[in-house]
Amino acid sequence: MASQKLIDVYELPAVDNVCNQILREVISLPKISVAHVTMNQGNASLWHQHSRMSEIYFVLDGEGILYYGDKSIRAKSGAYLMLPPKTAHKLRNTGNCDLEHLVFAIPPFDPTDVEFLNDFANEKFVPEEFYYDKPPITALDGALIYGLVPLEERNKLGVALAVGVLPGGRMAIPHYHRISEEIYYVSSGIGRIRVGDENFDVKKGSVVYVPKDKVHALENRSESEELKVLCLTSPAYTEGDFIFE
């Protein structure tokens, strides 16, 4: 369970893993866990699948190719992919720098639910180019958001994930949720967040946990740069659970 309200991902200890990546376990809620992974140049994960877990990969920085089944997609900043159970997959860093990404596991990651497979030689396939196929919408707090989990999957998995964008100098409207816990992961920009009676400065790599019934609001402290965050809610967010202060 989450308890600490502010976490700096880059200060978390790395966890040993068979792919020799820098893996940090970030936070875990009853229905979902979040891990941050840094892959060195030329590195690749092993071809594997999960029987029970669904995963969402979200690319923060760098460039690579994410292989899944008999398909592949260009992994670049902002790209994401949902991987249902029993979907074989691996990620390769094809850029000239580290590749950073987040892995959301639903239910929370279970090391016994990892099946390594003989590597399927699908790297010959030309990867699809990633793009957001829908424009952002304006959330009730005033931020622009791109929803990453379709409604049917939100209902099935019990979680919601979105990219939120605050333009320079803007502050979101303070609000709270009676049902959902929320996690903010700052992917770029600088800002400040209020959680109840506390205020935290945030930057790239900051993770903020917002318990139920806590008034919260993000503020972009830059006049020129957007503040971009991933917003995770569990159970899945609904407009009926959005309450203004």
What would the pLDDT profile of 151-163 be if each residue is shown by its tens digit? 999 999 999 999 9
Element (H, E) at 156: helix 151-157
Residues 6 or more apart whose Cβ sits within 8 Å of residue 170: 142, 219, 220
pTM: 0.96
- Residue 223 clears pLDDT 70, i.e. is over it: yes
Tokens of 104: 């959301």
- Integer angstrom CA distances of residue 50 from 53, 54, 55, 64, 160: 6, 8, 9, 22, 21
Kindly report, as residue ranges, where domains of CATH 2.60.120.10 are found in the chain.
Answer: 6-116, 137-244
- Residue 1 clears pLDDT 80, i.e. is over it: no
pLDDT digits (tens, 9 = 90+) for 12-60: 999 999 888 999 999 999 999 999 999 999 999 999 999 999 999 999 9
Domain 137-244 maps to which CATH number in 2.40.160.20, 3.50.50.60, 2.60.120.10, 3.30.565.10? 2.60.120.10
pLDDT band at 126 (very low <50, low <70, confident <90, very high): confident
CATH architecture of 6-116: Sandwich (2.60)
- Residue 213 clears pLDDT 60, i.e. is over it: yes
pLDDT band at 2 (very low <50, low <70, confident <90, very high): low
